[in-house]
Structure 1
Amino acid sequence: MKKHYKLTLVLFLLGMIITIIGALFKLMHWPGANFLLIIGMLTEAIAIITLIVVILKNTK
């Protein structure tokens, strides 16, 4: 795997983990669930946008 894809992959996996933990918090009605879900999904979105930019930069 190329080095510039590793950062986006780690960022995406981190976002997935945070989102899953936020869903668990939501199911158990624990406080902080909304915050975890928002942070996790924003992290995933940033990772996807970064991956798209890296791919477009490498094709040119």
Structure 2
Amino acid sequence: MQQYVDDSSINEIMDGNAKTLFSDKAAELANDMSSEQICISSEISSIEIHNAEAEITQ
């Protein structure tokens, strides 16, 4: 997940809904790692973005 965040452009994050963007990716990753023996899920409750001394919370 950290690699996905690092690879995302600041414009992509700021122009969209970051919480939805990262929630969708987390669900995709959890689904990819799940199997018949284990089910992985995720939940993102809040996001803080610190960029150029500006803080955005979603």
- Structure-1-length-normalised TM-score: 0.37
- Structure-2-length-normalised TM-score: 0.38
The structure with the greater share of residues assigned to helix is 1
Which structure has more relative contact order (CA 8 Å, sep 6+)? It is 1
**Larger Rg, first or second structure (1 or 2):** 1
